[in-house]
Amino acid sequence: GAGVSQTPSNKVTEKGKYVELRCDPISGHTALYWYRQSLGQGPEFLIYFQGTGAADDSGLPNDRFFAVRPEGSVSTLKIQRTERGDSAVYLCASSPTTGNEQFFGPGTRLTVL
Amino acid sequence: AQKITQTQPGMFVQEKEAVTLDCTYDTSDQSYGLFWYKQPSSGEMIFLIYQGSYDEQNATEGRYSLNFQKARKSANLVISASQLGDSAMYFCAMREGPSSGAGSYQLTFGKGTKLSVIP
């Protein structure tokens, strides 16, 4: 079956612009996670959805970051007024239930000029 | 304090030899899980192996085994019979137990170890 997919694979934007990053989890997975991986670092947690609701958004760095999962499947990470420090690879992962192995997508590489 | 510490930024191993990648963790939870992921240059995180805090036996998956020493809070990854395709970044990660409240199911990652397999 299909794994986690993320689009776009690469996004280049200018400082101050708005971007949306999409994640399509494995079908039937109720838990969905967003992580951010800066160069030379391990992924860092941003937000976790159980179904449609954000069960934990404690990792979002500030209010420019927002994520939704309106139908409990596809999720969109939204970043307003992008800054150069937002440049990173944004990874999405899903799992059938919480606490299980998380399956990662290929990531979206965001570059803010 | 770092929750996951990987002290080896880079490691080299001869093809067909075994290699151990170190990982120590810090948690006050009784229930937690430890994971190892491989990240090749393509960027995708590939799950390798999982160890639950209550598992009495060390986890094994093919050529991968996890040397779990609970009292020392270490969860080292052992790769046997290294192959050229094992060259990648390796990340140790921890999921803390549901009793820890908000953020219970996120993974906390270490900074990774870059493994290079020499022919």
> Tokens 């137990």 correspond to what residue?
B97
User: What is the DSSP track for A22-84?
Assistant: EEE--TT--EEEEEEE-TTS--EEEEEEETTEEEE-TT--STTEEEE-TTSS-EEEEE-S--G
Query: What are the tens digits of pLDDT across the range B70-82?
Result: 999 999 999 999 9
Contacts of A33 in chain B (CB under 8 A): 105-107
pLDDT at A32 over 50: yes
Q: Name which of A36, A33, A7 is nearest A19 in CA terms.
A: A7
State the best of B105, B108, B113, B114 to mutate against chain A, taking most chain A CBs within 10 Å: B105
> At residue A39, does pLDDT exceed 80?
yes
Tell me the pLDDT of chain A averaged across its residues.
93
A90 close contact with B: CB closer than 8 A: no
pLDDT tens figures, A78-104:
999 999 999 999 999 999 876 678 999
Which residue stretches of chain B have pLDDT < 70?
Answer: 1, 97-104
Region of A67 on the Ramachandran plot (φ > 0 left; ψ -120 to 50 alpha; else beta) = beta
Q: Between residues 42 and 61 of chain B, which touch chain A (CB distance below 8 Å)?
A: 42-47, 50
